[in-house]
Structure 1
Amino acid sequence: MGFRIVGTGSYLPEKILTNFDLEKMVDTSDEWIRERTGIRERRIASPQEAASDLGVRASQKALQMAGISPEDLDLIVVATITPDMFFPSTACFIQQKLGAKNAAAFDISAACSGFIYGLVVVNGLIHCGKFKRILLVAAETLSKITDWEDRSTCVLLGDGAGACVIVPHNEKTLLSYTLGADGNCGHLLFIPGGGSRLPATEETVRNKKHFLKMKGNELFKIAVRVLAESALKVIKEAGISPEDISLFIPHQANWRIMKACAQKIGLPLEKIYVTVDRYGNTSAATIPIALDEAVREGKVNRGDILLLDAFGGGLTWGACILKW
Structure 2
Amino acid sequence: MRLKSNAVITGVGGFVPDNILSNSDLEKMVDTNSDWIVSRTGIKERRILTDPTLATSDMAVAAVKNLLENTGVSAEEIDCLIIATSTPDHLLLSTASIVCDKVGLSNAWATDVNAACSGFLYAYTLGASLVESNRYKKVIVIGADQNSAIINYKDRNTCILFGDGAGAVLLEPTTEDIGLMDSVFKTDGHGREYLLVPGGGSKIPATVDSVEANQHYIRQEGRIVFKAAIKGMTETCTEVLKRNDMTIDDVNWLIPHQANYRIIHAVGENLGLSEDRVKVNIDRYGNTTAATIPLCLWDFKDDFKHNDNVIFTAFGAGFSWGATLLKWGTLRKA
Shorter-normalised TM-score: what interval?
A: over 0.9
Q: Give me the TM-score of the superposition, normalised by structure 1.
A: 0.98
| Equivalent of 2:297 in 278, 291, 297 | 291
Give the Å deviation of 1:87.
Answer: 2.6
Correspondence for 1:160: 165
Matches of 1:116 and 1:221, distance apart in 2: 20
Instruction: State the SS of the aligned residue for 1:196.
Output: coil
- The alignment-based identity, stated in percent, is 41
Matches of 1:36 and 1:238, distance apart in 2: 35
Correspondence for 1:111: 116
Correspondence for 1:301: 305
Amino acid in the other structure paired with 2:47:
R
Matches of 1:57 and 1:293, distance apart in 2: 15
Correspondence for 1:45: 49
Amino acid in the other structure paired with 1:25:
M
Correspondence for 1:27: 31
Give the Å deviation of 1:202.
Answer: 0.5
Amino acid in the other structure paired with 2:23:
N
Alignment of 1:1-324 (within 5 A): 1-46=5-50, 47-171=52-176, 172-295=178-301, 298-324=302-328
Amino acid in the other structure paired with 2:75:
P
1:9 and 1:292 in contact (8 A); partners too: yes
2:131 and 2:171 in contact (8 A); partners too: no
Matches of 1:299 and 1:285, distance apart in 2: 19
Matches of 2:225 and 2:112, distance apart in 1: 25
Q: Deviations over 1:170-198 (max 9, x none)?
A: 12411221111110110010011011101
Give the Å deviation of 1:49.
Answer: 2.0
Matches of 1:182 and 1:39, distance apart in 2: 28
Instruction: State the SS of the aligned residue for 1:42.
Output: strand
Amino acid in the other structure paired with 1:267:
L
Q: Deviations over 1:179-234 (max 9, x none)?
A: 11110110010011011101000110111110000000111111111110011111
Give the Å deviation of 1:62.
Answer: 1.2
Give the Å deviation of 1:278.
Answer: 0.5
Gaps of 5+ in 2: 329-334
RMSD: 0.9
Matches of 1:112 and 1:59, distance apart in 2: 20
Amino acid in the other structure paired with 2:101:
Q
2:164 and 2:288 in contact (8 A); partners too: yes
Amino acid in the other structure paired with 1:309:
T
Runs of 4+ in 1 over 6 A off after TM superposition: none
Gaps of 5+ in 1: none
2:127 and 2:140 in contact (8 A); partners too: no
Give the Å deviation of 1:65.
Answer: 2.1
Q: Deviations over 1:258-316 (max 9, x none)?
A: 00000111100111111100000000100000011111xx2111111111100000110
